[in-house]
Chains A and B, each alone.
Chain A
């Protein structure tokens, strides 16, 4: 949760602690596993076309990527200055005050809990479909959604995450396969003509762009996790910075290229119809005539593992949020307790599993569609929450660096002022158009109340957070003093992160 590293090179302790620290690639890999590129391209983009009917999703990925690169400048600069868990609300608490921090923590709890729940829906549906198509076994989607939820829940309690090498192999395979499929698509354009229409900037001003941008933001959720690794990285400053940029840049190129390639293969005017007809099979169907069947099977397998890895990653994130907030005293203290033998954030993990199981049960009982209503709606709901947090974090970076003591001598005007200012404006614009077009995003009519009910959830939790912040400030000054500091809230003095890396 911190940036602490021994400050002296030449120190034996520093040298010893430096062993086993993470490099740029390792940090980027873990973040990429959370953002799960194949899930985004094969699941997010295709369902996005099908539900919203907006063709400009590829250019939305590019635009969002550019905004997030700008955002990252201020974000990584601030992350090097504070002891933090990489949790966005800690930035907000430090930069905009503790009241805002409590509101943000409530928004974050909703956003990060929604993500694995939506992913279980996608996991269940895709696995059930693949089993049906390839093995002739018919099973309802919720069986696999419950199974995925149960396995992630157990792994959460055992504090087990996928091994770094397993993640790395899966990720490299996912990315390679996505690139291969994309190249195949571009080499076989519809009508023999490669169209760049879905990359054209005019989509950014057209109707429905809010929906497309929200889908794109959802695709990037998880990139912010790199900042958690400050303490564990070889050089808290440069490792995290490079890994964050690497993650965003790889993701934006991959998302942009792969989603554009699908529109090239179908022709931009056909992409929505094909996505509506073929859903998450679209990516595989487009490549199928030109690649060997085993590669298509491998693609399905990786799609399923990608969904699970992402769900597990966000399960851990949610459990850690509950735990950190329990330790701070913002949420009930029992959430901050550890499982005795496993050292896992036990109650946080159990609570997330219970929430997920409840939502899956609700969807199966109501017969709601798992792909559009669970996977797509709930993950974009999560994306909306993270978008709100990103807007607030950009503003918080500005607020934080207004104090020259925080800024020091090594933070440039670009990182302290210009970049967070630009990203705050750009992300706020994305937020406004997203909320305006939430009906389009969900694929519902203008009269359907769900178009405002879902975004209003965040307003609700933010107001609850506001009230709770006032209560905490009045009645529990000790808790109030520790807000935004996670497990470190027990230490009375604000620890100062060291500025030099331990290793090199």
Chain B
């Protein structure tokens, strides 16, 4: 626990640590993180924002758990890609051999797993693998950081824990941010491109976007199409993986 706390502490370093093109503010000047202009290196917690997007303000999931797990898995990979620890080449995930580690504990774990593999695996393999634990990993990261509080609703039932946001405004922020971008046809940065891409991939737009759906989806898709190849590839593979999860649904139980 002490180590985790330390890791979380380290996450609060100031912005601008070698991440070109990623500032604390969106191009329109909205802070990326609600109420906090300092959006540190490890503040690029895309999976946290994804977690907020897939739950409503009472911690109720908006989409199917399988879809959430794949979306969060993709967001965890995206965190490493944005931190330049990994990239996607075609359909494979390649790892930056530099020994540098991310500050965040979950990102560290994912990166270590990537490095352990003798050969590069496909995005789809990583999504399937990470989806097994992504929900728990991201949820516990958010609990540790004090963003959500776990409430056990029913005894003896798996997945009965709900994570209630501590600050409703913070929980709502990614949704509001995306909505503002789309409303004003404001160019999306890499982080919001990923989030927006995942919203489309997970069929979340009807519940997670407030603007007119058709418009929003078209904007998000064109943002993904203009994104760097790694991000584009990750998002499209995620959409395919989620589509397959829907088609194969019954087989993924048990």
Q: Is the CB of B249 within 8 A of A343?
A: yes
Q: Is the CB of B248 within 8 A of A232?
A: yes
Query: Who on chain A is nearest to B235 by CB?
Result: A490
* A327 interface residue per 8 A CB criterion: yes
- Residue among A324, A336, A341, A342 facing the most chain B CB atoms (10 A cut-off): A341
Closest beta carbon of chain B to A409's beta carbon, Å: 21
* B129 interface residue per 8 A CB criterion: yes
Q: Is the CB of B117 within 8 A of A345?
A: no
Q: A338 to B244, alpha carbons, bound, how many Å?
A: 11
Q: Which of B118-126, B138-146, B166-174 contacts A (4 or more CB under 8 A)?
A: B118-126
Query: Who on chain A is nearest to B245 by CB?
Result: A343
Chain B contact residues: helix, strand, loop or mixed: helix
* A337 interface residue per 8 A CB criterion: yes
Q: A232 to B203, alpha carbons, bound, how many Å?
A: 24
Q: Which of A3-11, A96-104, A168-176, A468-476 contacts B (4 or more CB under 8 A)?
A: A3-11
Q: Chain B: how many interface residues by the 8 Å CB criterion?
A: 44
Q: Is the CB of A488 within 8 A of B248?
A: no
Nearest first, the 10 A-B pairs at minimum CB distance are A487-B243, A343-B64, A161-B250, A1-B244, A338-B203, A488-B240, A13-B129, A159-B249, A6-B125, A491-B236
Q: Is the CB of B236 within 8 A of A327?
A: no
Please indicate the chain B residues that have their CB under 8 angstroms from the CB of A336 in the complex.
Answer: 243
* A303 interface residue per 8 A CB criterion: no
Closest beta carbon of chain B to A34's beta carbon, Å: 12
* B25 interface residue per 8 A CB criterion: no
CB under 8 Å from chain B, chain A span 446-504: 486-488, 490-493, 495, 498
Query: Who on chain B is nearest to A13 by CB?
Result: B129
Q: A488 to B91, alpha carbons, bound, how many Å?
A: 12
Query: Who on chain B is nearest to A21 by CB?
Result: B251
Closest beta carbon of chain B to A317's beta carbon, Å: 10
* A366 interface residue per 8 A CB criterion: no
Which of A11, A16, A324 meets B247, CB within 8 Å?
A324
Q: Is the CB of A490 within 8 A of B124?
A: no
Please indicate the chain A residues that have their CB under 8 angstroms from the CB of B252 in the complex.
Answer: 232
* A181 interface residue per 8 A CB criterion: no
Q: Is the CB of A11 within 8 A of B248?
A: no
Chain A contact residues: helix, strand, loop or mixed: loop
Q: Chain A: how many interface residues by the 8 Å CB criterion?
A: 47
Please indicate the chain B residues that have their CB under 8 angstroms from the CB of A11 in the complex.
Answer: 117-119, 121
Q: A323 to B254, alpha carbons, bound, how many Å?
A: 23
Q: A85 to B242, alpha carbons, bound, how many Å?
A: 14
Q: A159 to B132, alpha carbons, bound, how many Å?
A: 20
Closest beta carbon of chain A to B119's beta carbon, Å: 6
Q: Is the CB of B240 within 8 A of A490?
A: yes
Seen from chain B, the residues whose Cβ lies within 8 Å of a Cβ on chain A are 61-67, 90-91, 113, 116-119, 121-122, 124-126, 128-129, 132, 203-204, 206-207, 233, 236-237, 239-252, 254
Please indicate the chain B residues that have their CB under 8 angstroms from the CB of A13 in the complex.
Answer: 113, 117, 121, 125-126, 129
Closest beta carbon of chain A to B58's beta carbon, Å: 14
Which of B118, B121, B237 meets A10, CB within 8 Å?
B118
Q: Is the CB of B237 within 8 A of A491?
A: yes
Q: A493 to B63, alpha carbons, bound, how many Å?
A: 28
Please indicate the chain A residues that have their CB under 8 angstroms from the CB of B206 in the complex.
Answer: 340
Q: 14 extra interchain contacts, Cβ-Cβ under 8 A, other than A228-B248, A338-B67, A488-B240?
A: A2-B244, A8-B119, A13-B129, A17-B125, A159-B249, A338-B246, A342-B64, A343-B65, A344-B249, A487-B247, A488-B243, A490-B243, A491-B91, A491-B240
Q: Is the CB of A232 within 8 A of B63?
A: no
Q: A10 to B125, alpha carbons, bound, how many Å?
A: 15
Q: A160 to B254, alpha carbons, bound, how many Å?
A: 13
Please indicate the chain A residues that have their CB under 8 angstroms from the CB of B125 in the complex.
Answer: 4-6, 13, 17
Please indicate the chain A residues that have their CB under 8 angstroms from the CB of B62 in the complex.
Answer: 340-341
**A229-B251, A340-B207 in contact; A12/B244 too (CB < 8 A)?**
no
Closest beta carbon of chain B to A378's beta carbon, Å: 24
17 examples of A-B residue contacts, CB within 8 angstroms:
A1-B243, A2-B124, A2-B244, A7-B119, A11-B118, A13-B113, A13-B126, A13-B129, A17-B128, A20-B254, A232-B251, A324-B243, A337-B203, A338-B242, A340-B62, A487-B239, A490-B236
Q: Is the CB of B90 within 8 A of A4?
A: no
* A94 interface residue per 8 A CB criterion: no
Q: A85 to B90, alpha carbons, bound, how many Å?
A: 22
Q: A31 to B181, alpha carbons, bound, how many Å?
A: 48
Closest beta carbon of chain B to A8's beta carbon, Å: 6
Please indicate the chain A residues that have their CB under 8 angstroms from the CB of B121 in the complex.
Answer: 6-8, 11, 13
Please indicate the chain A residues that have their CB under 8 angstroms from the CB of B244 in the complex.
Answer: 1-2, 85, 231, 486-488
Q: Is the CB of B240 within 8 A of A16?
A: no
Please indicate the chain A residues that have their CB under 8 angstroms from the CB of B239 in the complex.
Answer: 487, 490-491
* A164 interface residue per 8 A CB criterion: yes
Query: Who on chain B is nearest to A337 by CB?
Result: B203
Query: Who on chain B is nearest to A10 by CB?
Result: B118
Q: Is the CB of B243 within 8 A of A327?
A: yes
Please indicate the chain B residues that have their CB under 8 angstroms from the CB of A10 in the complex.
Answer: 118
* A241 interface residue per 8 A CB criterion: no
Query: Who on chain B is nearest to A20 by CB?
Result: B254
Please indicate the chain B residues that have their CB under 8 angstroms from the CB of A160 in the complex.
Answer: 250
Which of A316, A327, A343 meets B66, CB within 8 Å?
A343
* A275 interface residue per 8 A CB criterion: no
Q: Is the CB of B118 within 8 A of A8?
A: yes
Q: Is the CB of A486 within 8 A of B243?
A: yes
Q: A11 to B119, alpha carbons, bound, how many Å?
A: 8
Please indicate the chain A residues that have their CB under 8 angstroms from the CB of B66 in the complex.
Answer: 343
Closest beta carbon of chain B to A493's beta carbon, Å: 6
Q: Is the CB of A159 within 8 A of B124?
A: no
**A13-B129, A342-B64 in contact; A493/B91 too (CB < 8 A)?**
yes
Please indicate the chain B residues that have their CB under 8 angstroms from the CB of A6 in the complex.
Answer: 121-122, 125, 129
Q: Is the CB of B117 within 8 A of A4?
A: no
Q: A6 to B125, alpha carbons, bound, how many Å?
A: 6
* A417 interface residue per 8 A CB criterion: no
Please indicate the chain B residues that have their CB under 8 angstroms from the CB of A341 in the complex.
Answer: 61-64
Please indicate the chain B residues that have their CB under 8 angstroms from the CB of A323 in the complex.
Answer: 243, 246-247
* A22 interface residue per 8 A CB criterion: yes
- Residue among B206, B239, B247 facing the most chain A CB atoms (10 A cut-off): B247
Q: A13 to B122, alpha carbons, bound, how many Å?
A: 11
Closest beta carbon of chain A to B239's beta carbon, Å: 5
Please indicate the chain A residues that have their CB under 8 angstroms from the CB of B245 in the complex.
Answer: 343
Q: A230 to B77, alpha carbons, bound, how many Å?
A: 25
* A81 interface residue per 8 A CB criterion: no
Query: Who on chain B is nearest to A339 by CB?
Result: B64
Please indicate the chain A residues that have their CB under 8 angstroms from the CB of B116 in the complex.
Answer: 12
Q: A5 to B240, alpha carbons, bound, how many Å?
A: 15
**A159-B249, A228-B248, A324-B247 in contact; A16/B122 too (CB < 8 A)?**
no
Q: Mark A311-347, 1 if CB is under 8 A from B, else 0.
A: 0000010001001100100000000111011111100
